[in-house]
Amino acid sequence: MSLTITLIDPDQSIDLGPDLLNDNFTAIKVAIDEIQSALILGTSMQLKLTSLIPSLPNNSIEAATAVLTGNSGNLLSFNPGGGVATYTVSFDGRISGLNATLTGVGADRSSIAELLVTTISEFDGKMTVKDELSLVDANSVVTTKSTIKTITTANIGAAATTPLDCSKDNFLLLDCDNGGSPLAIFPAEAIIKLDTTTLKEGQKIRYQLLRQNVYAQKFYNGGIGTEVFAKILPSAGGFVSLSSASLPAMDPTGGDEVWLDCQWIQISAAVFRLVILGSSNILGI
């Protein structure tokens, strides 16, 4: 839009004045009409842009502040291409949108007073609960991960090339069958080495024998001072590391319920052990 006003030269004939004034008023009216074509001024003091303003960055409107004082409905709405709204803000502060990415950390982290998730909530990182976690609803269910671990010769012995990773499971079903073949050369025993390097403090794990080997199956228990397992002995002062010479052995001869419950606990300064909480048909503990 451009507006050109013709100045009246005082040296011109006075007879030309009315025509010049009429031309100027006409130019002003055309300019006002163009502005009105881009704006709709409603009787309720609403202002609406009817076309883009290409002179601003990215066809946008820039302002220091914007105060919307409506008292009903949505005060802000994004409707791409004039279609369905993808984001709205109502007069009473209710926000509705397709997606939100909140990147603040530390002092800038997001704070939510109360949250209702109606379908699925997924956490890709750690979650810390600092107050009560209640599971008392009629439909509340707690599920834990269980995995069948097929024990191979790579998991066997103090020098095992692939110690058994037990950090990502709560319930490990150990398949020691090995296709009916021994996991170790007779008379050696199948001693399963566990990888505890990535266990989380407080993590609980159940090791349960699913299928047995033709020979005995036991757990490697580290060396002197680097034992893997510990027990709770109140009469002996509390936590006591299981001697490295003692290997917890899964023995199905006493019954098919063969399991070992443990928790990864710091038993002294910088010393962690798989503390035995309970067992069934486990020898050597």
Q: What is the pLDDT of residues 108-127, one digit of tens each?
A: 888 888 888 888 888 888 88
Model confidence, pTM: 0.67
Largest Cα separation within the chain, whole Å, is: 127
According to DSSP, the β-strands at 164-165 and 194-195 are parallel
The rounded Cα 228 to chain-centroid distance in angstroms is 31
Q: What is the pLDDT of residues 231-277, one digit of tens each?
A: 999 999 899 999 999 999 999 888 889 999 999 999 999 999 999 99
154: β partners: none
Any idea what DSSP says for residue 225?
T
Contact 102, 112 (CB under 8 A): no
pLDDT tier for residue 101 given thresholds of 50, 70 and 90: confident
Closest CA to 248 of 205, 197, 199: 205
Contact 230, 274 (CB under 8 A): yes
Q: What is the pLDDT of residues 128-160, one digit of tens each?
A: 888 888 888 888 888 888 899 999 999 999 999
Residue 53 has pLDDT above 70, yes or no: no
- Residue 110 corresponds to which tokens in the numbers above? 């997001």
Residue 284 has pLDDT above 70, yes or no: yes
Tell me what pLDDT residue 216 has.
Answer: 87
